[in-house]
Amino acid sequence: MLDPDVRRSPAAGRKVRVTVVMPTYNRAGWLLEALASLEAQQGAPPFEVIVVDDGSTDDTPARLGEWLARTSLSATVVRQANRGPAAARNHGVRVGRGKIIAFLDDDCVAAPDWLAELTRGMAEAQDLAGAGGALRPLRVVSLAERYCAHCWPAPPHKDPANVEYIITANAAYRREVLARAGGFDEGFQRPGGEDPDLSYRIRQLGYRLEYRPQAVVQQRFREGLGGLARTFWNYGRGHGRYVWKKGERHPGIYYRAVAATLAGAPGRLHSYRREGLPWRDAFLFAAITTAGMCAWHWACAREMGRALHG
């Protein structure tokens, strides 16, 4: 009997080398643009797409059904109860058949050579667990988008061939290494923290991770300040769970960091001015950074405190 929560495209079943897993939740319009960018891939190894609908309540299921019927890709749509992106990614890995597992978020648009650049030579390098690509802004219009584009560039890497962590919105791993590391920790029920946690466990196994800036994905940064605030809070919670798993047991450090963050606000203002921003933007960016980092530290400490007290 066919599983009613698993649907496949007419081309599903073709031989593949790479599985692209895309978790989604209530982003039907954005999702279709992300899928269109996968249909436009050039020079990529044979690949399939696994979309994991994480319990969407909008018209995502209907739109995915229409897309499946017309796409030329080998594609599968899996639907599950809402459990968060970590669980959705693990589900996609289990369903997929590729020896290399790539991940793309539903708010992203991949460049035509993205998959080719991201996975190049990965199967042959036995010490390489995975690679992460560059994230660029898809559009820069609102204040929140301008802030993200200016303040959240790619993290600096002293050695791109051996980085500390990669961001799963644009990443690929060898399946066997993912299995050895245990996949994503499904205790991370919101975005934030699951990326460095997986990277840490992979590196503990003796593998390395690469940063490949030529593998480009454009991402929709937060359009409004409310969404940006939720991002800071969720990432702070995720970091709290991550450092707790690593053995850190002092949430007070992060509570005290709130005061230090507030005290550092004037310095941030002058720093943004030195970067060439006009006074208005420098003031707004400094205010957003200060408020956001206070929320991040507070959420981190709160998550650690909850773990400490059971």
CATH code of residue 44: 3.90.550.10
| Mean pLDDT confidence for 182-207 | 91
Which of 193, 219, 245 is where one domain is finished?
A: 219
Q: Does residue 44 sit in helix, strand or coil?
A: coil
298 domain-assigned: yes
Report how many domains make up the chain.
2
Write out pLDDT tens, residues 249-283.
Answer: 888 999 999 999 999 999 999 999 999 999 999 99
156 domain-assigned: yes
pLDDT score of 1 more than 90: no
pLDDT score of 189 more than 70: yes
The answer on 204 and 92 residing in a single domain is yes
pLDDT of residue 2: 41
C-alpha dist (Å) from residue 107 to 31, 83, 229, 300: 7, 18, 18, 25
pLDDT of residue 248: 83
The answer on 289 and 182 residing in a single domain is no
pLDDT score of 155 more than 70: no
Residue 309 binned pLDDT confidence (cut-offs 50, 70, 90): confident
Largest CA distance in the chain: 65
The answer on 156 and 276 residing in a single domain is no
Q: Does residue 174 sit in helix, strand or coil?
A: strand
Residue 180 CA, chain-centre distance (Å), reads 21
The answer on 154 and 180 residing in a single domain is yes
The answer on 234 and 215 residing in a single domain is no
The answer on 274 and 166 residing in a single domain is no
C-alpha dist (Å) from residue 267 to 39, 45, 259, 274, 286: 46, 48, 14, 11, 9
| Mean pLDDT confidence for 276-299 | 96
Write out pLDDT tens, residues 83-130.
Answer: 999 999 999 999 999 999 999 999 999 999 999 999 999 988 889 999
Neighbours of 19 (CB within 10 A): 24
The answer on 160 and 241 residing in a single domain is no
The answer on 289 and 188 residing in a single domain is no
Q: What percent of the chain has pLDDT over 90?
A: 75
Pairing verdict, β 208-219 and 128-137: parallel
- Answer for the pair 261, 288: CB distance below 8 angstroms, yes or no: no
The answer on 240 and 127 residing in a single domain is no
237 domain-assigned: yes
Which of 178, 199, 219 is where one domain is finished?
A: 219
**Whole-prediction pTM:** 0.89
Write out pLDDT tens, residues 26-66.
Answer: 999 899 999 999 999 999 999 999 999 999 999 999 999 99
Count CA atoms closer than 13 A to 143's CA, side-chain side: 16
87 domain-assigned: yes
249 domain-assigned: yes
Cα separation, 130 vs 125, in Å, equals: 10
The answer on 109 and 91 residing in a single domain is yes
The answer on 271 and 175 residing in a single domain is no
pLDDT score of 4 more than 70: no
Which of 219, 243, 268 is where one domain is finished?
A: 219
β-pair partners for 170:
104
Look up the domain containing 89 and give its range.
6-219
C-alpha dist (Å) from residue 242 to 181, 198, 214: 15, 10, 29
77 domain-assigned: yes
pLDDT of residue 157: 73
pLDDT of residue 124: 85
- Answer for the pair 20, 104: CB distance below 8 angstroms, yes or no: yes
| Mean pLDDT confidence for 133-154 | 87
- Answer for the pair 9, 68: CB distance below 8 angstroms, yes or no: yes
- Give the start-end residues of each E strand in the chain: 6-8, 18-24, 47-53, 74-79, 100-104, 108-110, 128-137, 170-174, 208-219
Residue 278 φ then ψ, to 5°: -65, 160
Write out pLDDT tens, residues 214-231.
Answer: 999 999 877 789 989 998
1 domain-assigned: no
Within 8 A by CB and 6+ apart from 32, the residues are: 63, 67
β-pair partners for 24:
53
